[in-house]
Amino acid sequence: MFLAVAGCQTTTPPPLIPPFTPLPTPKPTPPPTPPKPLPPKAPKTTGKLEVPRLKEWRYIVIHHSGTDSGSAKKFDQFHRNVKHWDSLGYHFVIGNGHGSRDGEIEVGPRWVAQQHGAHTATSGNAYNNYGIGICMVGNFDAKAPTPAQMQAITDLVAYLQDRCKISNRNIKLHRDCKDTRCPGRKFTKEMLLARLPNRASEPSFWSRDSLLLNWLK
């Protein structure tokens, strides 16, 4: 004889497995921003280089004196007494050891006063009105600038580019602006550009007004 027992039976459900959730993909880490290059140091000069307020400058124009010797004082006398100008036509003079020290950067009164130059007369006079004139003593048709002069022009131009926001494009030799051989066949723009820091050619140095003036010329 069998006894059948019937009743409620309970079954334990299997444990719930949570749905698979993929881990978030980590965002790529951007490369570190390279540090900005330090501005060029002000070169050592004879005379006041730092001025409280800058005029609008767009160009740097480089000349040679065409003479074996000279100094800012000698050229100032010539410009006043012979050419009857109000002062030295250049903003800076770099000596070659004959009349002034080799590589000496002499600051002219036009830079101190932030006055237009009298060194590159052209139609419209843009290079005098907006150009910083630098004269290196020497005849660079006969011989190249001295190593000290090359170091001085490099340091001065790099400083002026940074201070006045002037691009490599707007560094001019006198012969780039008018029909002349100045500053001689033994000094080229490429000689200078090869020594300048790369930041000098960045587009951020090209002001809208400077580009517009070049386009209109």
pLDDT of residue 208: 40
155 has pLDDT over 80 = yes
Whether the predicted pLDDT of 81 surpasses 80: yes
User: Residue 83 is encoded by which pair of tokens?
Assistant: 């050419």
Q: What is the pLDDT confidence band of residue 8, given thresholds at 50, 70 and 90? A: low
Q: What is the pLDDT of residues 201-217, one digit of tens each?
A: 444 444 444 444 443 33
CATH superfamily, region 59-216: Peptidoglycan recognition protein-like (3.40.80.10)
Nearest to 39 by CA among 189, 208, 205, 151: 205
Strand 105-107 and strand 92-94: pairing? Answer: antiparallel
Q: Which two tokens stand for residue 180?
A: 């002349």
Quote the pLDDT of residue 27: 81
Residue by residue, what is the 3-state secondary structure of 75-106?
HHHHHHHCCCCCCCCCCEEECCCCCCCCCCEE
Give phi and psi for 178, each to the nearest 5.
-155, 175
Q: pLDDT by residue (tens digit) across 102-149?
A: 999 999 999 999 999 999 999 999 999 999 999 999 999 999 999 999
What does residue 159 show for φ and ψ, rounded to 5 degrees?
A: -65, -45
Express each pLDDT in 86-107 by its tens digit: 999 999 999 999 999 999 999 9
Structural domain boundaries of the chain? 59-216
Measure the CA–CA gap between 190 and 185, rounded to whole angstroms: 12
Render pLDDT for 26-80 as a digit per residue (tens, 0 to 9): 888 888 887 777 788 889 999 999 998 999 999 999 999 999 999 999 999 999 9
